[in-house]
Amino acid sequence: MPVAFSDLFTRRRKEEPPEVVDGPGQPTKALDRFLAGLSGRTAPVLLDLGPVVGSNVTFFGQEVGCKILVEDLSKDIDRHVTEGKLDDLPRFFDTRFPQESETIDGILCWDIFDFLDKAAGERLARQLKRVLRPEGMLLAFFATAEPRPATKPTYTKHVVVDRGRLQHKPYTAARAKQRPLLNRDIQRLFEPLRITENFLLKTNLREVLFRKPPKPQADA
């Protein structure tokens, strides 16, 4: 049966997996800047809002020499969904972080804001801005494409391969990604933090690096 060359290529394209999961990792631009921002500090404290990834703990511990606090918010979201208490999520975030104000040097939000609606996102952002130290860094990823309703909801475990690469490992989520945030929404959400880097990757992922402005010095 004769097959046209073009048919061969289209077939191959269809067979390709939609997303590389266990490959060598996908590029990240912002992580390196984030680490650079933390490197000058003595004994920085890092807050990781993703699931516990052993290799990440080792990486950040050795690379930055920091203390790492792991607060897996995906579990909190799942619990609220399964208990049918999603409306309580914004209030829950008000008391979720026991850390004192301005004690954290860096926050890794990963893509957690994609899974929150506006109210919950605002309350979470408020808490993160509170705990972040002046000149502290916050790294967050945002999807730019509308979530496909048919697909099974998944969170992404971001495994650091090196300073320039992340491995994205999906795992089952109780809640799907919400509508993507626009640039100005992101900016407003984190005000008064300043966006220092904003990368739109080929994977349609937006990596945004924020910095908390220094405290205004009182005139003597």
Residue with tokens 């990240």: 28
Encoding tokens for residue 118? 């506006």
Give min distance, CB of 31 to other proteins, in A.
18
Is there a contact between 65 and 43 (Cβ–Cβ < 8 Å)?
yes
Can you tell me the distance from the alpha carbon of 104 to that of 163, in angstroms, rounded to the nearest whole number?
A: 21
Can you tell me the distance from the alpha carbon of 102 to that of 117, in angstroms, rounded to the nearest whole number?
A: 26
Q: Which of 24, 84, 98, 216 binds other proteins (CB under 8 A)?
A: 98
User: Looking at beta carbons only, is 65 or 164 nearer to other proteins?
Assistant: 65
Q: Which stretch binds other proteins (CB under 8 A): 100-108, 118-126, 141-149, 205-213?
A: 100-108
Is there a contact between 186 and 81 (Cβ–Cβ < 8 Å)?
no
Give min distance, CB of 92 to other proteins, in A.
8
Give min distance, CB of 201 to other proteins, in A.
26
Residue numbers 106-145 binding other proteins by CB under 8 A: none
218 touches other proteins by CB under 8 A: no
Residue with tokens 């739109």: 200
Can you tell me the distance from the alpha carbon of 99 to that of 116, in angstroms, rounded to the nearest whole number?
A: 22
Residue numbers 22-61 binding other proteins by CB under 8 A: 42-43, 45, 52-54, 57-58, 61
Give min distance, CB of 4 to other proteins, in A.
45
Encoding tokens for residue 210? 């924020």
Cα–Cα distances (Å) from 87 to 80, 116, 120, in that order, read 8, 11, 9
Binding site for other proteins (CB under 8 A): 42-43, 45, 52-54, 57-58, 61-62, 65, 67-70, 72, 92, 95, 98-100, 103-104
